Chains A and B, each alone.
Chain A
Amino acid sequence: MKLIYDKSVSGRKGVMPPSSDVPNTIHIKKEFLRSSDAKLPELSELDVVRHFTELSRRNFGVDTNFYPLGSCTMKYNPKAAERIAAYPGFAHLHPLMPQLRRGGMLTQGALEVLYDMDKFLCELTAMAGFTMQPMAGAHGELTGIMIMAAYHRDKGNKKTTVLIPDSAHGTNPASAAIAGYKVVTVPSDSEGMMDVNELKKLVNSETAGLMLTCPNTLGIFEKNIKEICDIIHSVDGLCYYDGANLNAIVGKACPGDFGFDIVHLNLHKTFATPHGGGGPGAGPVGVIQKLLDFLPVSLVVKRNDGTFALEYDRPKSIGYIAPFYGNFAIILRAYVYILMLGRDGLKAVSENAVLNANYIKEKLKDYYSLPFGQTCKHECVFSAERQMANGIHAIDIAKGLIDRGFHPPTVYFPSIVKEAIMIEPTETESRETLDMFIETMIELAKLAENEPEKLKAAPVTTPVGRLDETAAAKNVDIAEL
């Protein structure tokens, strides 16, 4: 398909800007102007609409296909949230408005949304307070580690390392390193959980804290979680909960009760805001009481008269980590979701997410190798090890699924599982969909055994086949200038 720039026709007009009702006199000297026009395309409105409509048809999304991408929680995104986020009262609100005199009173509706979300998320995680500012999960991680650093600075602790299990998301070690810490990797044991004996050996006075997802990336609940947190606390370290997998326990159990001190949540996972093709997300961070002072400025507070205000005077705060109040329109969508589901709806989410994952695990365990066979939580991790005897890898199974109308699971992650196939169905998928997926996975396992060459050729139903990624990295072609 042609690039939009290659469809341009000189002189063709698109959308007309507002008409001018003032004299044509700018206040800029000529040397400060660009020498030639920016090379934007010249197209009609229909040209543009058709171009992007055609592009959209080259995508799988949750609305078009089952999307069991492990660790990403690709659940249904309710349409009501989209509609409400577009209400002019929210969409047209300038973020500097509260900084005008008595400006907080001009934005009471938006502040109430932020305040309520803080309270809802605290209740769901057993934390004492949240910042809504982080704009994605990894941004939340960085914020959380900055809070950890501020805590240790404030106490005069000399801490240099952050412990992270080998099964963790890559964002965990990256966030810790960017915040200035050295990363120490904790190995997993034969049950797929953190090796507590190894952890004990690695913990020392230099330990600033631990970053952990629970259930972990194998979909397994860390049965020693309380002991793990106690070990970290014994050296005045802090326990950081990566909320990427909260969908497994939302409305059932709270990370704060396990012993965690800092939590980030991915609103685009657990709270059903759209993934947008890679974002925008939102990664609010919650902390326990003793860390409240370190949360970023500003925070929304409720005054005695019931009105809401932004609090900026926070001397121990880590400062601003976003220009304003976070990805407000995403937070708003998550708020709508929580209001619609309520207490019982949220509990049903985790129960059905876990039920669906275990159903798939049970039905596929005879066909694919399952390195960790215990009851899983919201996702299950298989390995294509058995298929490798016929030269078939996880990626070939993934491409075979594409030809049969499914978005593949996450493959090759977590890296501690060889040829990993990580399946997260989410709670919104029906049994009929799960059964079709299961049948297809079984069909592919048989194909791998009997006609592996057919799988190697997949996908054949897509606009392009397997792409040469090595060439892409070597001959860097990333823009049409």
Chain B
Amino acid sequence: MSFIANTQEQQKQMLAQIGLSMDGLFADIPKEFLEKKFNLPDGMSEFDVRNRLADLAAKNHIDLTCFLGGGFYDHFIPSAVYAIIGRSEFYTAYTPYQPEISQGTLQAIFEYQSLICRLTEMQAANASLYDGGTALYEAMMMALRITNRNKILIDDSVNPIYRVMIHSYTKNLSIELQETKNDQGLINRKALLEKLDDNTAAVIVQNPNFFGCVDDFTDLAEAAHKKGALLIVSCYPISLGILKTPGAMGADIVTGEGQSLGLPMSFGGPYLGFMATKKDYVRKMPGRIVGRTKDNQGRTGFVLTLQAREQHIRRDKATSNICSNEALCALTALVYSSLLGKDGLKQTAQLCADKASYAWQKMTAIKGVKSRFGAKWFFNEFVLELPANAAEIAGKLIDKGFAAGFPLSRYYEGMENSLLIAVTEKRTKQQIGMLTESLEAVL
């Protein structure tokens, strides 16, 4: 099965018209390179492949009730999302280099950029980046370009996965990357303000942070701006249904993981990195940007714009090397948000917070279980302090049918007994009750 249309006979005729044999077509490749015998299986029918993959899919335990989060969440996805993004006019197209036959993709990206601005209360957004982690790295690089400085401050309440990614990307660059240790689950304001100086390009924080705690960074934005530094906020888009926006706090660059906006978890991807900024910084942004303009008859249309920032024009002087982004995931986020609409997004955020609040009350009522950070404000995720090793307890809860949460010892010292629990609108009162009972039973 190779999906090739031309018959052997047609191939022969075409070769005859070219005047070469098939071997002749490859005669420019040194013969020694063409001798390899590939140790690969024979092709399979669709029927057989589907059976094989169904067997593999069955080995993945999606039957566990999911209270895992950590920046990646099990949200409800309406059927209409699948129907729309399943239209192959969208998914079999490529980057809209020819605008006249890509108005569908281009207008959708323009609407998506508008969506990100409306969610974050920022003024400009790009067409997408790979994921929340690379988006945060790109934001950091953008801040270095804007300020022409080389020091970055980041609090360890920012997703640890993103922090290790940033460390990897900056290994070969001369950037001073300083981390502060969180203060009881919130950013370490004192340490950040102490380290903030005239060489600081940006301060990086997250809301809600990795522990689920909610904050307002308005004071930090003011302090950063006084020193000529930028504030970068990584955020969780569903939470913006109810939470104070990074724009309202005075953030300069906002990034985040868009997976929660209608994308399945798919074992880590494809996801969606989003980025928004202030109007003044548009020309420093990485990635594709779609703009609205007119055609030769005065009709409104959309094009890729500000391409002079990009790799295919600027090569080694480009703002980023990104070419393919996550366009279909951006479309998914737009479709999802449009289907939920103004009320739907707010209700979804409210439900997540309600259910997390309920779960927190139930679970902290268990004898020996405490809230790790006291009664701090949280959105849909919170940290429990268990009377025993959290990884062990989470292991025991797998046997009871739960992916109960994420043990924090993997990334944080002194948090061996801490378990990060996420609750989305999909979790029911009954499931929360059962997890509470099971947790009590295994302690």
Nearest chain A residue, comparing its CB with the CB of B290: A478
Given the known A-B contacts A274-B91, A328-B267, are A343 and B42 also in contact in the complex, defined by CB atoms under 8 Å?
Answer: yes
A35 to chain B: which residues have CB within 8 Å?
A: 244, 248
B161 to chain A: which residues have CB within 8 Å?
A: 320, 323
Chain B proximity mask over A452-476: 1 for CB below 8 Å, otherwise 0? 0000000100111111110111011
Query: Which residue in A21, A42, A249 is a CB contact (below 8 Å) of B341?
Result: A42
Does A344 lie within 8 Å of B43, measured CB to CB?
Answer: yes
Given the known A-B contacts A74-B94, A253-B34, are A328 and B268 also in contact in the complex, defined by CB atoms under 8 Å?
Answer: yes
- A198 on the B face (CB < 8 A): no
Does A78 lie within 8 Å of B321, measured CB to CB?
Answer: no
Does B102 lie within 8 Å of A25, measured CB to CB?
Answer: no
- B372 on the A face (CB < 8 A): no
Does B312 lie within 8 Å of A345, measured CB to CB?
Answer: no
How many chain A residues sit at the interface, stated as a range, is 35 or more
B24 to chain A: which residues have CB within 8 Å?
A: 375
Does B46 lie within 8 Å of A80, measured CB to CB?
Answer: yes
Cα separation A408 to B102 with both chains bound (whole Å): 12
A476 to chain B, nearest CB (A): 6
A-contacting residues, B66-107, CB 8 Å: 66, 68, 70-72, 74, 76, 78, 80, 82-84, 86-105, 107
A389 to chain B: which residues have CB within 8 Å?
A: none
A281 to chain B: which residues have CB within 8 Å?
A: 324
Cα separation A61 to B94 with both chains bound (whole Å): 7
Cα separation A359 to B13 with both chains bound (whole Å): 10
Does B43 lie within 8 Å of A24, measured CB to CB?
Answer: no
Does A63 lie within 8 Å of B89, measured CB to CB?
Answer: yes
Given the known A-B contacts A96-B70, A467-B294, are A277 and B105 also in contact in the complex, defined by CB atoms under 8 Å?
Answer: yes
Nearest chain A residue, comparing its CB with the CB of B10: A431
A238 to chain B, nearest CB (A): 14
Given the known A-B contacts A94-B403, A112-B56, A472-B305, are A20 and B354 also in contact in the complex, defined by CB atoms under 8 Å?
Answer: yes
Cα separation A293 to B216 with both chains bound (whole Å): 42
A142 to chain B: which residues have CB within 8 Å?
A: 321
Cα separation A146 to B165 with both chains bound (whole Å): 12
A266 to chain B, nearest CB (A): 8
A315 to chain B: which residues have CB within 8 Å?
A: none
Does B429 lie within 8 Å of A22, measured CB to CB?
Answer: yes
B56 to chain A, nearest CB (A): 4
A27 to chain B: which residues have CB within 8 Å?
A: 353, 356-357, 360, 375, 377-378
B386 to chain A, nearest CB (A): 14
- A178 on the B face (CB < 8 A): yes
Nearest chain B residue, comparing its CB with the CB of A257: B33
A-contacting residues, B24-43, CB 8 Å: 24-30, 32-34, 36, 38-43
Does A56 lie within 8 Å of B406, measured CB to CB?
Answer: no
Stretch at the interface among B150-158, B176-184, B328-336: B328-336
- A306 on the B face (CB < 8 A): no
Chain A proximity mask over B281-294: 1 for CB below 8 Å, otherwise 0? 01000001111111
Chain A proximity mask over B311-344: 1 for CB below 8 Å, otherwise 0? 1111111101111111111010011011111111
Does A40 lie within 8 Å of B345, measured CB to CB?
Answer: yes
B356 to chain A: which residues have CB within 8 Å?
A: 27
B326 to chain A: which residues have CB within 8 Å?
A: 135, 276, 279-280
B55 to chain A: which residues have CB within 8 Å?
A: 109
- B191 on the A face (CB < 8 A): no
Does B58 lie within 8 Å of A109, measured CB to CB?
Answer: yes
Does A318 lie within 8 Å of B342, measured CB to CB?
Answer: no
Most chain B beta carbons < 10 A, residue from A38, A149, A428, A472: A38
Could you list some 24 contacts between A and B, CB below 8 A? A3-B107, A26-B353, A38-B241, A39-B342, A53-B84, A61-B93, A69-B94, A89-B54, A89-B56, A93-B265, A136-B325, A174-B315, A183-B315, A275-B324, A280-B324, A318-B171, A320-B168, A346-B40, A352-B6, A375-B20, A375-B25, A459-B100, A471-B293, A480-B114
Q: What would 11 more interface pairs be, CB under 8 Å, given A253-B34, A339-B41?
A: A20-B354, A41-B342, A53-B87, A86-B82, A107-B267, A254-B36, A322-B269, A342-B41, A343-B42, A473-B308, A478-B113
Q: Nearest 4 pairs between A and B by C-beta?
A: A89-B57, A324-B268, A342-B43, A319-B168
